[in-house]
Amino acid sequence: MANSSRKDFTVAIVGGGICGAVAAHGLSRAGVPVQVFESASKFSEVGAGIGIGPNALRALDGLGLLKAVISHSDHAEPTMRVFKFVSGSGSHEVVFDYEASMEHPEKLQGVGIYRPAFLDAVVEQLDPSMIHFHKRCTSVSSENGRSVVRFTDGTIHEADIVIGADGIHSATRHFVVGNDAPEPLAFTNTAAFRGLVPYEDLVRAGIKTELSERPVCFIGQGKHIICYPIGDGRL
């Protein structure tokens, strides 16, 4: 249940992706005055699917977002999300199945959803007056007991608390870690590729493994492919 009492401190969120939007909703729902600053001209999420497991479902339910998220997915309700592991070669025989090894697999419910659809579900719950676009943060500083956020357009915003949700190239990170920042990001010799594919295309290509109901992991030597349904007949 939302808290109607208004808190006496303010929060600025830098970044309007999934994390920033969810944080804004949760804080606003708790009565915290919050403003969101997004560098883009509108809310947008880049990516393919997102798998929401049991713990995340409980968190969304506690934030009052679960019904909205499910309504934007292809599910009427959460479904079983335990993985099945199959060989990545040959006839794709089952290597391990969590469902068969668990006493109550039905308790591990989850939802697969398209990332932009997830963001849309959250953004629809936000008060438009708290959202500011074309606001790229350049720095955050502490002045007279307040946090000051500066933007490329020359404007500033003061708040009691700043939440950095501005991604891998974060401008807020330096304010948190300062000179203790780790070495610059470096390649780990591991690569991940994400994408969307219609389930029918895989069937026509000869894939016989059932992929429309549960997450499946095709495993191989030093590599793997994870597939899960996100709605609209896509994986």
Residue 1 has pLDDT above 60, yes or no: no
Residue 2's pLDDT band (cuts 50, 70, 90): low
Structure tokens that stand for 42 in this block: 């509108």
CATH superfamily of 11-64+118-178: FAD/NAD(P)-binding domain (3.50.50.60)
Q: Is the pTM of this model over 0.85?
A: no
Residue 210 has pLDDT above 70, yes or no: yes
pLDDT (tens digit per residue) in 87-146 = 988 888 889 887 766 676 667 788 888 889 999 999 999 999 999 999 999 999 999 889
Average pLDDT over residues 24-43: 95
**194 catalytic, yes or no?**
yes
pLDDT (tens digit per residue) in 151-185 = 999 999 999 999 999 988 888 988 888 777 666 67
Q: What is the pLDDT of residue 106?
A: 62
Residue 23's pLDDT band (cuts 50, 70, 90): very high
pLDDT (tens digit per residue) in 41-66 = 998 877 778 888 888 999 999 999 99
**What is the residue extent of each domain of the chain?**
11-64+118-178
C-alpha–C-alpha distance, residues 84 and 209, integer Å: 10
Q: What is the pLDDT of residue 126?
A: 96
Q: What is the pLDDT of residue 97?
A: 85
Average pLDDT over residues 201-210: 90
Q: What is the pLDDT of residue 15?
A: 95
Residue 194 has pLDDT above 70, yes or no: yes
Q: What is the pLDDT of residue 187?
A: 86
Of 194, 204, 214, 234, the active-site residue reads 194
Q: What is the pLDDT of residue 145?
A: 87
Amino acid at 1: M
